[in-house]
A and B are shown apart, each in its own frame.
Chain A
Amino acid sequence: MTVGLNAFILVAGLLFAVGLLGVLLRQNTLVIYMSLELMLNAVNLALVAFSRYNGTMDGNLFVFFIITVAAAEVAVGLAIIVALFRRRQSVMVDQLNALSR
């Protein structure tokens, strides 16, 4: 049995929607961060699926770059969150509102 492209796109779309809703609705910075990663991976999935379907390596190539950049970004992002927690004793978004005048 082969899984069709539509199924991949559906899963990728669902993953993306879950990630987006997570970014929009959750308060914890760590969870928001995870949701962001989820969205990235949804895109990765879609790209790989397209690549497979088209029979070219373009999509796969993109995915490698995205994974690499995401890895670096995670390192920086987590470091920022740790530093933020050390300073503010909190990672909740509703308490990180120093810019609201």
Chain B
Amino acid sequence: MTATQILLAALLTPLLSAALIACFLRRRGVLASLLSVAAAAGICAFAFMAIRSADGETIRAAAEWLTFGNFTVSMGFLFDSVAATMLTMVAFVGFLIHVFSVGYMAEDKARGRFFGGLSIFMFSMVGIILADNLIMIFVFWELVGFSSYMLIGHYLDTNEAAAASKKAFIVNRIGDLGFLVGIVYAYWHFGTTNLEAMSSAVAINPGLINAAIAALLMCGFIGKSAQFPLHVWLPDAMAGPTPVSALIHAATMVAAGVYFLIRIAFLFPESVLGGIAILGTSVAVYAGFCAYGQNDIKKILAYSTLSQLGYMSAAFGLGFPGIALFHLITHAFFKALLFLGAGSIIHGCHHEQDIFKMGGIFKKMPITSITFVIGVLALCGVYGLSGFYSKDAILIAAGLDGKWLFMLLTGGAFLTAGYMGRLVWIVFFGAPKSEAASHAHESGVAMLLPLIVLAVLSVIGGWLNVWPEYLAQFIQQSKEALHHVEGYDAMHHTVLIWGSAAWIVGLAGSLFFYGLGAKTDRLEQVAKPVYTFLNARLWFDEIYGFYVAKVQQRLAVLLSFLDVFLIKGIFVRGSAGLVGLLGMCSRSLHVGNLHGYVYWFLAGFLLLWALAAGVL
């Protein structure tokens, strides 16, 4: 098989699986889950084969899809080091999450639909990774949006899930509008949407870089990666099954926004990059604060995801896309681990998600707990674990750039350790605080195996030296660039001290403040206004709710009135009524009696005569 065929196989295997499940296996959950897992394993195998056959080269292949006049849309692959890294991560983490789902969803009635959704998601995600032009990215971008919608709404009989899936879909549409306009603008500006063609055009003439295009394309990233101001959908998306949260809303899809930015990094001028850095930093800090006001274990992790996405976009904005990719990969490992761990706990506690109703999990579920804690330590950036290397690099980049971003991002690291510490101390230690938690039991092998593998990856994922050279290439370039910035060594020491201080202070502080296995939130008791403030998350949902219900709704009512009254009432119904009236009048002339017609004829004749004779 040629490299292109391998990539095509990697793309189409999950689609085939989804099609088979949709057509034949909707009621056969076991077969559907096996097929879906096999497809995920297939992607893994094809990804490794593709990397072997690429052999350090970039693979390009394209075929025409549609032609309108002289405008051609092509579907093609651009498989370089970045795509290879991302594909490996998605394939591998995706496979582990599929395996986990087999255990987690074992008692679900709609398993066929669930695994079909996972397969269609894998198909769309691989499509985004391999795409070589903006239009193809957009097509698969919408497909991941659809599969996200479908999987968030998996428990479709609960209002929460139904509302959350709609919210995720609609909020993403807002970002995608900007994305779409950006694609059109880019085509108008460059005459192509092919990534490499645009890249070489920009390389020849840097004057072609256009801030408007960059900003418009960034809108897509803001929606998909849940950055401010479109971040509101991600916490709600936790209404979906936990493996979905792990796969789509932590490890892969939301990170696809960052991946997209990395793919089009050459389009960004300094001004937009600066904006992204500030945006990412503010989201990192904002989400860190929000996590303190949450009691749902998945929502805490969701805000943590938001915060880490903020770190990634900050790294990108600071001009180090490789480091953003590095954090994306390590984050995927430990955040998938944390979500799957949370899933295992939720499963063990009979679907209890409130951390204040858990407690004492460590004794009941030792393997889950140990792997979870490894994930927490990796997330907090403990020296030697994966999160340390990537976050360290981001903090150094921020520190070399300026004081404010560094202070804020370091503050974010303190916050991260604090809220993760809060979660760990309350959930795993002390005594069980509810009936469900006291009957917690360790999960089965299908769920523990992915946890263990991901825990190992969370530890070693940051050691770039053990990565295959082809995968690490792009990240190493950015790291090299960072090494050569003046003042790197001094900043490295500063960050080492502050980063270590962050996790030690954060974990110890939360232990001191919340205590082991607390029954209630101490922050809520000690400083009620602060807790309420954090819990309100800056009232974003309320503001949007107000906007939609009061401003937009009224405009919609006005427009609807105009539509009903003016267009429907006067134009459409009015003209129809006029014609109908004419018809009624002329119909009344037809009396159905021969003599009547003769009289009408006579009358018409007289009229004609009168006209001709000039009487009238």
Q: Which residues of A contact B (CB under 8 A)?
A: 23-24, 32, 93-94, 96-101
Which residues of A have CB within 8 Å of B599? 24
CA of A69 to CA of B598, assembled, Å: 21
Q: Which 7 A-B pairs have the closest CB atoms?
A: A100-B592, A99-B592, A97-B592, A93-B594, A97-B593, A100-B591, A23-B598
Among A24, A94, A98, the residue within 8 A (CB) of B598 is A24
List residues 80-109 of chain B with CB under 8 A from any CB of chain A.
none
Nearest A residue to B587 via CB reads A101
CA of A94 to CA of B592, assembled, Å: 10
Which residues of A have CB within 8 Å of B592? 97-101
Query: What are 20 A-B contacts with C-beta separation under 8 Å?
Result: A23-B598, A24-B595, A24-B598, A24-B599, A32-B594, A93-B593, A93-B594, A93-B595, A94-B593, A96-B594, A97-B592, A97-B593, A98-B592, A99-B590, A99-B592, A100-B590, A100-B591, A100-B592, A100-B593, A101-B592
Which residues of B have CB within 8 Å of A98? 592
Nearest B residue to A99 via CB reads B592
Nearest B residue to A97 via CB reads B592
Closest-CB distance, B512 to chain A (whole angstroms): 94
CA of A32 to CA of B597, assembled, Å: 13
14 further contact pairs, Cβ within 8 A, besides A97-B593, A98-B592, A99-B592: A23-B598, A24-B595, A24-B598, A24-B599, A32-B594, A93-B594, A93-B595, A94-B593, A96-B594, A97-B592, A100-B590, A100-B591, A100-B593, A101-B592
Please encode chain B, from 584 to 616, with 1 for each CB lying within 8 Å of some chain A CB and 0 for all others: 000000111111001100000000000000000
Which residues of B have CB within 8 Å of A24? 595, 598-599
Which residues of B have CB within 8 Å of A94? 593
Nearest B residue to A26 via CB reads B595
CA of A24 to CA of B602, assembled, Å: 10
Nearest A residue to B597 via CB reads A99
Nearest B residue to A100 via CB reads B592
Closest-CB distance, B225 to chain A (whole angstroms): 69
Closest-CB distance, A30 to chain B (whole angstroms): 13
Which residues of A have CB within 8 Å of B594? 32, 93, 96
List residues 503-523 of chain B with CB under 8 A from any CB of chain A.
none
CA of A96 to CA of B591, assembled, Å: 12
Which residues of B have CB within 8 Å of A96? 594
Which residues of B have CB within 8 Å of A97? 592-593
Nearest A residue to B596 via CB reads A100
Nearest A residue to B593 via CB reads A97
Which residues of A have CB within 8 Å of B591? 100
CA of A3 to CA of B183, assembled, Å: 98
Which residues of A have CB within 8 Å of B593? 93-94, 97, 100
List residues 28-77 of chain B with CB under 8 A from any CB of chain A.
none
Closest-CB distance, A16 to chain B (whole angstroms): 13
Closest-CB distance, A22 to chain B (whole angstroms): 11
Identify the interface centre among B591, B592, B593, B594: most chain A CB within 10 Å of its CB. Answer: B594
Which residues of B have CB within 8 Å of A93? 593-595
Nearest B residue to A93 via CB reads B594
Closest-CB distance, B600 to chain A (whole angstroms): 12
CA of A24 to CA of B601, assembled, Å: 11
List residues 287-306 of chain B with CB under 8 A from any CB of chain A.
none
CA of A23 to CA of B590, assembled, Å: 18
Which residues of A have CB within 8 Å of B590? 99-100
Nearest B residue to A96 via CB reads B594
List residues 168-193 of chain B with CB under 8 A from any CB of chain A.
none
Closest-CB distance, B601 to chain A (whole angstroms): 10
Closest-CB distance, A77 to chain B (whole angstroms): 13
Nearest A residue to B591 via CB reads A100
CA of A99 to CA of B590, assembled, Å: 8
Nearest B residue to A29 via CB reads B594
Closest-CB distance, B559 to chain A (whole angstroms): 43
CA of A93 to CA of B591, assembled, Å: 13
CA of A96 to CA of B596, assembled, Å: 12
Which residues of B have CB within 8 Å of A99? 590, 592
CA of A8 to CA of B423, assembled, Å: 122
CA of A101 to CA of B587, assembled, Å: 10
Nearest A residue to B592 via CB reads A100
CA of A97 to CA of B591, assembled, Å: 8
Closest-CB distance, A87 to chain B (whole angstroms): 16
CA of A98 to CA of B593, assembled, Å: 9
CA of A61 to CA of B595, assembled, Å: 32
